[in-house]
Amino acid sequence: MVFGLGKKKFEFSCQSIGMNCGFAVKKASSEEELLEILKVHAKVAHNLSNIPEDTLNKIKENIKKV
């Protein structure tokens, strides 16, 4: 077995949850990493210092594994 090859990457775009925003996270190596990037983005671009629970659930549903 070779580890590290064919590992899934996690992607998310704000548009997928109906945000009028062109931001997308690509090639995060884990869901946690993706959410960390997104938290920073939400703060800066959407004025959300905390992502609400329902939005967070929506985000998780729309994370693509590629």
With respect to Zn ion, which residue has the nearer C-beta, 15 or 30? 15
Q: Report how far residue 64's alpha carbon sits from residue 66's, in angstroms, rounded to the nearest whole number.
A: 6
Minimum distance, C-beta of residue 50 to Zn ion, in the bound complex (Å): 15
Q: Which residues bind Zn ion (CB under 5 A)?
A: 14, 21, 23, 45
Q: By C-beta, is 14 or 59 nearer to Zn ion?
A: 14
What minimum distance in Å lies between the beta carbon of 9 and Zn ion?
19
Query: Counting every residue, how long is the chain?
Result: 66
Integer Cα distance of 15 and 7 in angstroms? 25
